Amino acid sequence: MGKKETNIKTPVQTLKDLKKQTKLPFITSIFLSTLILLVFFGLVILRKPRVERVPEVFVGEEVICSWGGPLPLSNLPGTGDMQSQAGYIMPNGELQQGFWRGGQGWVRTVPMRADNTPDWGNASSWGGPLPLSNLPGTGDMQSQAGYIMPNGELQQGFWRGGQGWVRTVPMRADNTPDWGNASSWGGPLPLSNLPGTGDMQSQAGYIMPNGELQQGFWRGGQGWVRTVPKGEFRP
């Protein structure tokens, strides 16, 4: 006994069959053909697989990637709570990273791939620990920041014990920081110069593509941001 063949008819064939079986007025034929086409294409659309949307994070009108994590603190060297962290791209194209935890500092560099994304697999080992006594001021480390200024120098800043300190570091010919010729730390800067209340918790700064400086910080559970026009900021 052979297989029963199932003929799938198109909307046009279906309409022709109806015309053969019944004599339909012209307007009725048009109506039926339109209805059959709508049903046919509706079924085709419904059969298409649905694509699940990945959750996105919206900042204003800009869409950025979702947050990845959580990352365990045990992946990093040292002991104690995380106190601050910072990262910036140096003129030679490498990513410089640093953090403080338990009163000790650690730094490393990460090369970039050809597509300008961090090559995490070839990152250097974390260098440290750096003693907090090497820095001016007293109290625990509260925040740190670093960014490359338009003149090519590295601007560094940190807050500890409610006081702020800043310095600049020139670059060598190979576009790496010339730590030996860094300026002295300027400060202390009083926390009362900044808006808000409570302890300093974090800070960040970076030069945007238009040359403006974008700065932000958190203190007492509240965040603050500002933009400094190009050419109007200095160490």
Q: Cα separation of 87 and 37, whole Å?
A: 59
Residue recorded with tokens 């298409």: 48
Q: Work out the average pLDDT over 151-176.
A: 96
Q: Cα separation of 181 and 112, whole Å?
A: 26
Burial 137-157 (b: 16+ CB within 10 A, else e): beebbbbbbbbbeeeebbbbb
pLDDT of res. 95:
97
Confidence of residue 33 (pLDDT cuts 50, 70, 90): low
Amino acid identity at 113: R
26-47 vs 11-21: helix crossing angle, rounded to 10: 150
Instruction: Read off the pTM.
Output: 0.71
Confidence of residue 57 (pLDDT cuts 50, 70, 90): very low
Phi-psi region of 75 (alpha: psi -120 to 50; beta: other; left: phi over 0): alpha
